[in-house]
Structure 1
Amino acid sequence: MASTKDWFETVAEARERARKRLPRSVFLALHAGSEAGGTLADNTAAFAELGLRPRIADLPPERVQATKVLGSDISLPVIVSPTGVQAVHPDGEVAVAKGAAQSGTAIGLSSFASKPVEDVAAVNDNTHFQVYWQGSRDDMLARMERAKRAGAKALIVTLDWVFATARDWGSPPIPEKVDLKTAVKFAPEVLRKPGWLGTYLRSGSLPDLTTPNIVPRGQQGPAFFGAYGEWMGTTPPSWDDLAWLRSQWDGPFVVKGVYRPDDAKRAVDIGASAISVSNHGGNNLDSTPATIRTLPGVSKAVGGQVEVLLDGGIRRGSDVVKALALGANAVLIGRAYLWGLAAGGERGVHNVLEILRQGIDSTLYGLGKKSVHDLEPSDVVVPDDFTRGM
């Protein structure tokens, strides 16, 4: 269908609508990567280096995308990745959860989210809760128990984030809180975007930079940088720490940030249910090659013992297909759905997911595949040295 005021046809168009709608600082905060942005750029560029081997006859009249990941049935192999405070829209993570539910898939909810896990899980039965190794063990147990009571199905432990002061390449300073002083400072750029401002005025709220899932339910969570500071002040975990954490969660357990085959094997050893090949969307250690480059080696290392997820650079349904063919069970998306959220709230998130669904379907058709489960490495043309020795 053609693009309309309420519907867009590509993720690139969602990004452009988000750029036009959001204040410049807010949009750049979404776009930013680490240092020179090399990893951010390679995440998308690497997919363009991969080719596909199409067929021309005996093509399947119907294609199946439904799969099961982290113990949950989803209608397409795309999951919403956890991202921090989503101030691009007043409904934030609740709108994202609804959009994902409408498309029949799961949402990963960040512990740095701006909406309580109870509100998110209430509108999407397939909610997975994400944590950092942050605070004391008792603090972490309290967060996990709260998420479990709320109905979270899986736990995602994010490890692909370093102590980098230059993390936000290309991003403006993010305010500690939205108060009168901040409002005056950002007023010139906000007033240029009356649509975004009007959405907040109609909601009766201001952009929320607090993190309610860090503290017990009912308490006021710290602002984003307060939570960030607590994380920075916590000694990073050992593999023994991660094994303990796994022992405290009786559901699916994801280690996010795996990049090397040897780390993938260690994640298997501690009893992880799944690993996520991730570089935090290009917001971790710059000069790290794209996640799709390391996926084949990681997938081979675990040999089907755990589910393998991938995030970083997914912009088209064909990107999803390439990742599945090279060893992923499903992918996670970040910026793509945030652009959709900015462009159209819940409907925009659903729109992005349906764009990917359509792209997956047409790619399966062209490859002559009846199901996402039929994909194999030979469907993809991989250039020499594509994996960069990973």
Structure 2
Amino acid sequence: MGKKVPFSNLAEAEKLAKKRLPKAVWLAFKAGNEQGWTLDENIRAYSDLGFSPTVFDRPSRGKIDTKTKILGVDIDFPVIVSPVGAQAIHPDAEVAAARAAKRMGTAIGLSSYASSSIKDVTAANDNSFFQLYWVGTRDRIEARVEEARRSGAKALIVTLDWSFTPRRDWGVPPAPPMKMDLKTMMELAPHALSRPQWFSRYLKRGRIPELKVPNLFITPGDVPSFGTAWEEFVNTPTPTWEDVKWLRELWGGPFMIKGISTIKDAKLAVDMGADAISVSNHGGNNIDGTPSPIRFLPSIVDAVGSDIDVMVDGGIRRGSDVVKAMALGAKAVFIGRAYLYGLAVSGEDGVHKVLEIMRDGIEETMFGIGRDSIHDLSMDDLIILNRDFLVTPAR
């Protein structure tokens, strides 16, 4: 490990990932919903926030405190690898990301729709959280929860913000293929062969890219396809507050609800005993036209921040973005596409480099604004460049 990677910032990593991945794979994970307004807004919102650097009150270099604790886990800096499903970016997938996160002293969230099993990921990083979608019957959900418990997951994350709106208006695949039959493989073959380096990574491991989701087994030991799991998902009734409360009690340990965008939902999460929430719009893949979570963050923190840990995700591309989120009240952040760029380019070392860039950016920004601890950050450290930046959720 520790090999030199061919990028030094996230913009370079993104360009290289686009160049190295088959077009269908790139578009599937890069795109947002419908016209992509929210996808772009997630990034754009951070440009409405600025800093006022100091020259006299700077902390000592190397003495900046970035450590924090989330969901019962101590991490060296407030950036966690987000759960991201249906990966066909690198054959080592989430296991590579888990190892990189461990090297950097942070945690990883593993998606129900991941390519790697929770057992393999917890073996690579003991600070792993399992992210659960409400899929199937309570008996099947309970079996998956117990597998996560047996595997050593430190926390359970339930994601509730997927709204079954996978339309994309600009020539982008609506979702990964539902099944990898002969017809589908023939259609995708030119894409795979156009990126021989990407394809050869799989061949060297004696397999071809496929979309299997081991964490959404229908019976223990079964490894369904993405399409089979997706079909079960869309035919499962939407969970009620009582269902999620049952899940919280079943798990019994640290518990997060991901996908919060309203004060009402945040308060309901507190009422059911959740330990944390993540303000999120599913990376621009929920309802297009939704403002960036960072705009909602301050009002949600004001409403529940004294009762629950509040995280945020969506649009974070550099360490200074993390500092902005922390100044607005976040306890930590998730990154998704940012680490996937690194994974696509250089596997584990690429993810490690992305996390290193994030950490260094946090420390450089903290030095510039004269703060020696992330726990001292507040809105006083920011300049709001757009007076309409702050958005209070409608309910």
Normalising by structure 2, what TM-score? 0.95
Task: State how far apart, in whole Å, the 1-side matches of 2:19 and 2:165 are.
Answer: 30
Higher alpha-carbon deviation: 261-270 or 380-389: 380-389
Q: 1:77 to 1:87 in 2, by over 3 A?
A: same
Decide which of 237, 245, 248 is 1:246's aligned counterpart. Answer: 248
Paired amino acid for 2:130: F
Give the SS at the match of 2:140: helix
Q: 1:226 to 1:305 in 2, by over 3 A?
A: same
Paired amino acid for 2:75: I
Runs of 4+ in structure 1 deviating by more than 4 angstroms, as ranges, are 167-170
Decide which of 386, 389, 392 is 1:386's aligned counterpart. Answer: 389
How far residue 263 of structure 1 moved from its aligned partner, in angstroms, is 1.1
Paired amino acid for 2:76: S
Q: Match for residue 23 of structure 2? A: 24
Paired amino acid for 2:332: A
Give the SS at the match of 1:319: helix
Residue correspondences, number: 387
Q: Match for residue 10 of structure 1? A: 9
Q: Match for residue 124 of structure 1? A: 125
Higher alpha-carbon deviation: 109-118 or 172-181: 172-181
Task: State how far apart, in whole Å, the 1-side matches of 2:181 and 2:87 are.
Answer: 17
How far residue 176 of structure 1 moved from its aligned partner, in angstroms, is 2.9
Paired amino acid for 2:262: R
Q: 1:97 to 1:293 in 2, by over 3 A?
A: same
Q: Match for residue 78 of structure 2? A: 77
8 Å contact kept, 1:34–1:286:
yes
Q: Match for residue 151 of structure 2? A: 150
How far residue 199 of structure 1 moved from its aligned partner, in angstroms, is 1.0
Specify every segment of 5 or more residues in structure 1 that has no aligned partner in the other structure, as ranges: none
Higher alpha-carbon deviation: 323-332 or 85-94: 85-94
Task: State how far apart, in whole Å, the 2-side matches of 1:184 and 1:136 are.
Answer: 35
Task: State how far apart, in whole Å, the 2-side matches of 1:139 and 1:265 are.
Answer: 28
Q: 1:136 to 1:169 in 2, by over 3 A?
A: farther
Write out per-residue CA displacement over residues 82-133 of structure 1, whole angstroms, 9 at most, x where no aligned residue: 0112211111111111111111110000111111110110010110001111
Higher alpha-carbon deviation: 219-228 or 161-170: 161-170
Give the SS at the match of 2:41: helix
Q: Match for residue 48 of structure 1? A: 47
Q: Match for residue 359 of structure 1? A: 361
Task: State how far apart, in whole Å, the 1-side matches of 2:4 and 2:153 are.
Answer: 35
8 Å contact kept, 1:33–1:170:
no
Q: 1:214 to 1:319 in 2, by over 3 A?
A: same
Normalising by structure 1, what TM-score? 0.96
Aligned-pair identity (%): 54
Q: Match for residue 36 of structure 1? A: 35
Write out per-residue CA displacement over residues 359-381 of structure 1, whole angstroms, 9 at most, x where no aligned residue: 00100001100011111111111
Alignment of 1:224-243 (within 5 A): 224-243=226-245
8 Å contact kept, 1:34–1:169:
no
How far residue 179 of structure 1 moved from its aligned partner, in angstroms, is 4.8
Write out per-residue CA displacement over residues 137-174 of structure 1, whole angstroms, 9 at most, x where no aligned residue: 11111100000000000000001110214168652253
Give the SS at the match of 2:251: coil
Task: State how far apart, in whole Å, the 2-side matches of 1:75 and 1:5 are.
Answer: 23
Paired amino acid for 2:118: V
Give the SS at the match of 1:68: strand
Alignment of 1:98-247 (within 5 A): 98-166=99-167, 170-172=171-173, 174-215=176-217, 219-247=221-249
Paired amino acid for 1:34: N
How far residue 210 of structure 1 moved from its aligned partner, in angstroms, is 1.1
Specify every segment of 5 or more residues in structure 2 that has no aligned partner in the other structure, as ranges: none
Q: Match for residue 286 of structure 1? A: 288
Task: State how far apart, in whole Å, the 2-side matches of 1:271 and 1:170 are.
Answer: 42
Write out per-residue CA displacement over residues 26-48 of structure 1, whole angstroms, 9 at most, x where no aligned residue: 01111111111111010000001
Paired amino acid for 1:373: H
Alignment of 1:265-276 (within 5 A): 265-276=267-278
Give the SS at the match of 1:79: strand
8 Å contact kept, 1:32–1:168:
no
Q: 1:354 to 1:170 in 2, by over 3 A?
A: farther
8 Å contact kept, 1:178–1:207:
no
